[in-house]
Amino acid sequence: MQQPATPPNEKIRIDTLVSLGILDSSPQERFDRITRLAKRMFRVPVALISLIDTDRQWFLSSLGLDVKETSRDISFCGHAILGDEVFIVLDTVLDPRFVGNPLVTGSPNIRFYAGCPISAPNGSKLGTICLIDQSPRDFSDEDAELLRDLARMVEQEVVAIQLATIDELTMISNKRGFESLSKRALSLCNRMGFSASLMFIDLDKFKSINDKYGHAEGDHALREFSHLLRETFRDFDVIGRIGGDEFAVLQTKCSAEECKKSLERLQQNVLDYNRKSNRGYDIEFSIGSVEYDNQKHESINNMVADADSLMYKHKKLR
């Protein structure tokens, strides 16, 4: 077994990692969503976002693994952060660097590993997003490119921590965060040939809630509606509050029929909420939905504009 070497910029790297304040943090949906997507796309039992601390690797997000950290000197990710490319081990028992490694000979019995370094804005390698399997497997150039795209999504979320792209009131993405995540998601759709659709949602009669019940009650309505959005849509769909009472949802790898069912679920969830609520008003909304067309929609903003236009047509008919 070979222990990973220490990067030449180790002090700067550790200082950068510590400054982000994400070591030993509570689970964060923004990162868990990406590991769920990785696990689903690559059909692996384990997907991780691993941060390489001074003497340990700590898992910022972990699917399929019970432990939260391991020693750095036995970590695969410690090797991966030494380079810029995806670090791939097709069969660990045939690789002298990992023969006898306790992560290979014991739980989680790693036979396949692929990890892409995650960099901070200053270039420091913080850790990796990685895939683990208990059986050897192949990993194509296209697979590596897809894993790089997921690593860029993680990097965007790290930057988002610094740029405050989460809406503080509703705790979903704000306009900047939504655009950033959606841009990467559409890039993946183009690469993999996946479908995508965007819903633009505007709350009806929201001004009257503020005027009659006060802005605190208006804030409550926004929080409750955001919660209904999170309950309705899938874990890896991109949900954002992009204006005062305006929301958007980007669904990827979702057929037109599936998107229609999502809208029906949202309508039912809002109806159920209104029946149980005793606030003196109902939450109502108008919606416009468009399917992604890579010839027509040059950016996520084009999709938002088209869906916004359809939403206003819907609103006029109400």
What confidence score (pLDDT) does residue 163 get?
64
* Structural contact between residues 133 and 139, judged by C-beta atoms closer than 8 angstroms: no
Class of 10-163 per CATH?
A: alpha beta
pLDDT, tens only, 115-148: 999 999 889 999 999 999 999 999 999 999 999 9
Cβ-Cβ contacts under 8 Å for 2 (sequence gap 6 or more): 96, 97, 98
CA angle 287-293-295, nearest 5°? 140
pTM of the model: 0.61
Q: Which amino acid is at 87?
A: F
Q: Given this model, what pLDDT does residue 164 score?
A: 66
CATH of 175-317, one of 3.40.190.10, 3.30.70.270, 3.40.50.300, 3.30.200.20: 3.30.70.270
Residue ranges of the chain with per-residue pLDDT less than 50:
none
Kindly list the domain boundaries of the chain, sorted by start residue.
10-163, 175-317
Separation CA 281–CA 207 (nearest Å): 12
Tokens 């990467």 belong to which residue? 184
pLDDT for res 180: 77
* Token reading at 290: 């468009």
Q: Which amino acid is at 294?
A: N
